[in-house]
Structure 1
Amino acid sequence: MTETLLPTAGDARLRGMIRVPGGTFTMGSETFYPEEAPLRRVSVDAFWIDEAPVTNRDFARFVEATGHVTVAEVAPDPKDYPGMPAEMARAGSLVFRKTAKPVDTSNPANWWNFEFGASWRHPLGPDSNIDTLDLWNHPVVHIAYADAEAYAGWAGKDLPTEAEFEFAAKGGLEGADYAWGDELAPEGRMMANYWQGLFPFANQCLDGWERTSPVRSFPANGYGLYDMIGNTWEWTQDWWSERPDGSKKPGGSCCAISNPKGAKRKDSFDPAQPHVKIGRKVIKGGSHLCAANYCQRYRPAARHPEMIDTATTHIGFRCVVREK
């Protein structure tokens, strides 16, 4: 967690940020996925949050100033991945490839490819780059947790908690499924960048975009924030737990939980990979790959675990500055 100074008038860090007032809200959902339950009352203090995700242009300034090398640009250490084939110990990242026909959606390997040389500069692989693809105003992707944390520290900011992100994403709405109301596409209007059609082979692109879109391409929410839903998943500070409050048993509380911080690192490991001791953080907001037939996580309450060493074509981030 980055230690930041309290914001003051004229604070340069607050340029491009929106102040979100503190408040109490109903967090979670009992309608979609079990990891979103239970509904619980949560309070957050006031904070400032980036109006839009960090873009490639923003991230390039950080890299130029610091010389930061992202996780995807460094070859993995085989000691961290027992059983990893030696030939995989090369720098790279996960790239989404649309399939030609319907596939088994229980196996993400059908559309994710680990491509050597893929990184934030080369989002579709070593033969692509953000300049020729004109992606400077798109969210930066292929960002592992450490990269997002390093950027936030450089900027004098933090990453949001899961509760802060969800509160901000709701834009002041209470009880609605989506950040804009209860209809995914009111009167046929696309409100966010997500997958229209049958994932992972038939994208109708009703929103105009096959992959990421420039930030601010869709309407802002009630707080004036863009892309809190869809486009790219975004990192939060919270360690993952199947129970979103960090507990192992369902149940509510008579009182609002104040500024929850998530689970402990040791409880965030993937039980399906007991030999890999790499923690998982909560990512929020869904992405351009979320679809009605596969991943209805284009909602404020949606949450998903992601290993902190993972970088993909659909994970980015934004930052916060807290008032206390």
Structure 2
Amino acid sequence: MIGRIDQKRTSCCTLGRPTDSFEISPYYPLNSSLEDADIVALDLVAIPGGHTHVGTSKSVISGDGETPKRKVKLKSYKIGATTVTNNQFAAFVRATGYVTEAERIGNAGVFRGLLRDKHIEAPSNPAFPWWAIINEASWRAPEGPKSALDGRGDHPVVQISQKDAMAYCKWAGGRLPSEAEWEYAARGALPDPRFPWGDDEPSDNKVFCNIWQGRFPDQNTELDGYYGTAPVRSFEPNGYGLYNMVGNVWEWTSEQFRVRSLSRGAKVRNAQAAKENQIIIKGGSFLCHVSYCYRYRIVARHPLEFSSAMSNVGFRIAL
């Protein structure tokens, strides 16, 4: 049976894009700080194949389908040491002229705490009032038209839909990882840790990743040094040399969201996910907190509508 989602552990993300339109956003020249000379080549880490598992036998957020724990066999593969950066995505756009879905549609989701004008009138989902749909927000201007990428070339690119992420991966000769590949890589050769570094919970005295510290959503003490995204090589890597597998930004996978259960509730949930094209995202983000969105655990997962672009969602390449 699917248990009821604990409202104290609900999500910092919305499930999809509620206000799609087909307005075309104005073109923004690439910021002068993102030059070809600054583009960093993809750093791919080889992950050995073998028998492993995905999921858990003890669910924390039951409605997310974290259970059951099941065995899988993976072939050897490679995965990015970091999420794709603004610099790297800029190289792709320059080479191809690609226009992201947020640019095509004309808006994207922005966490209100990142807006210069905290009281701006913008559409939001009543269930997630800390999110605003901001016109002209895109990967080039993550918080809207008055924002820029100055000083953020090595930060994860955000405001990217799954389609955008797949387009980049195809251009770079790769693909998005499956959920099993993502979890296996995140463990860093540890048998079954809660986090990429082990089982120690992040705290004010133990800062392992970029998550929310304080009281969500109105107070962030920034003890980890960041309010929004952090550079992709911040904090210590895991045993495989992978950075920020949890926290910082959510990461798209290649898989449609589904709950592995034969219950009536699971069938209804899976039908909804299929109808809305919800994709599994992994890793949590800078907005996650143990008291609210405890999804910066390796087995945690969340659905996101495939065309959604948000200021805390990016991606990592695999091949």
Residue 175 of structure 1 pairs with residue 203 of structure 2:
no
Cα pair 1:50 1:319 within 8 Å, conserved: yes
**What is the aligned-residue RMSD (CA, Å)?**
2.4
Cα pair 1:268 1:281 within 8 Å, conserved: no
- Counterpart among 308, 311, 314 of residue 313 in structure 1: 311
Match of 1:184 in 2: 201
Runs of 4+ aligned structure 1 residues displaced above 6 Å come to none
Aligned pairs for 1:47-196 within 5 A: 47-75=77-105, 91-98=106-113, 108-131=127-150, 134-185=151-202, 188-196=205-213
**Scaled by the length of structure 2, what TM-score is found?**
0.78
Per-residue deviation, 1:304: 0.4
Match of 1:27 in 2: 54
Match of 1:253 in 2: none
Q: How many residues get paired? A: 265
Match of 2:272 in 1: 269
Cα pair 1:25 1:41 within 8 Å, conserved: yes
The runs of 5 or more residues in structure 1 that have no matched partner are 1-13, 76-90, 101-105, 251-265, 272-276
Per-residue deviation, 1:32: 1.2
When structure 1 is superposed on structure 2, of 20-29 and 193-202 the one drifting more is: 20-29
Residue 231 to residue 15, structure 1, CA distance change in 2 (3 Å): closer
Residue 187 to residue 115, structure 1, CA distance change in 2 (3 Å): closer
Quick one: distance in 2 between partners of 1:237 and 1:15?
19
> Cα deviation per residue 1:187-244 (whole Å; 9 max; x = unaligned)?
922111111111111111111000000011110001000111110000000011022x
- Counterpart among 200, 203, 217 of residue 200 in structure 1: 217
Per-residue deviation, 1:120: 0.3
Cα pair 1:278 1:309 within 8 Å, conserved: no
Quick one: distance in 2 between partners of 1:217 and 1:207?
10
Tell me the amino acid that sits aligned with residue 248 of structure 1.
L
Quick one: distance in 2 between partners of 1:268 and 1:281?
13
Match of 1:261 in 2: none
Match of 2:69 in 1: 39
SS at match of 1:98: helix
Tell me the amino acid that sits aligned with residue 200 of structure 2.
E
Tell me the amino acid that sits aligned with residue 154 of structure 1.
W
Counting aligned pairs with the same residue, the percent is: 43
Tell me the amino acid that sits aligned with residue 262 of structure 2.
K
Aligned pairs for 1:295-310 within 5 A: 295-310=293-308
Tell me the amino acid that sits aligned with residue 188 of structure 1.
N
Quick one: distance in 1 between partners of 2:68 and 2:100?
36
Cα pair 1:240 1:268 within 8 Å, conserved: no
Cα pair 1:230 1:285 within 8 Å, conserved: yes
